[in-house]
Amino acid sequence: MSNDHITELFDKDGNLIGCLLSADAWAAAKPHVHKLLDIKPKPELRPEPLADWEMLKEYWDFPYPVDMDVHCETCGARTENWQQDDPRKFRLSSANLAGLVSFACQQCQSKIVKKHFKDEITSETVPYQEKNQRKEGRY
């Protein structure tokens, strides 16, 4: 990696006060910096979109009752009613009026997508994949 990835910052007296790293340099250095400084990143937990789920239930027009069961094909976790579990086995990720509902398995982090069609419900499980920081979008 060349020096083009690091910009040193100095105060008015010429003292080094910090540096700027390019996105590629930070992606490479971040795990090492966190380890050296004993920083444990906190996972960002957004609140569940329960209002969206309630809206889907309010406008439910499928010929079958609202289904509350969720099953993870990756690790085998299962529940008959995801809202009544304490602690939650599955967290609601999204829900919309079209009948598309997704959950995150709290055991293995897989994504479970339930598609509510007129005559049937399909469910698919997508195993969790670690995010590649080098492929992160840049704006």
Q: Per-residue pLDDT tens for 53-87?
A: 999 999 988 888 888 999 999 999 999 999 999 89
How far is Cα 121 from Cα 65, in angstroms, rounded to an integer? Answer: 11
Count of domains observed in the chain: 2
102 and 61 in one domain? Answer: yes
* Nearest Cα residue to 99 out of 50, 60, 48, 47: 60
Residues 113, 58 share a domain = yes
What is the spatial distance between Cα 133 and Cα 135, in angstroms, rounded to a whole number? 5
Query: What is the reported pLDDT for 133?
Result: 63
Are the C-beta atoms of 71 and 77 separated by less than 8 Å?
yes
pTM of the model: 0.65
For residue 124, is pLDDT > 60? yes
Of 4-13, 73-82, 124-133, the one with minimum mean pLDDT is 124-133
Q: Write out pLDDT tens, residues 94-108.
A: 999 999 999 999 999
Residue with tokens 């994504």: 111
Contact 100, 94 (CB under 8 A): yes
Task: Let me know if residue 138 belongs to a domain.
Answer: no
Residue 113 near residue 126 (C-beta atoms within 8 A): yes
31 and 61, same domain (yes or no): no
Indicate whether 56 and 103 sit together in one domain. Answer: yes
Give the range of the structural domain holding residue 71, as residue numbers without chain letter.
Answer: 50-126
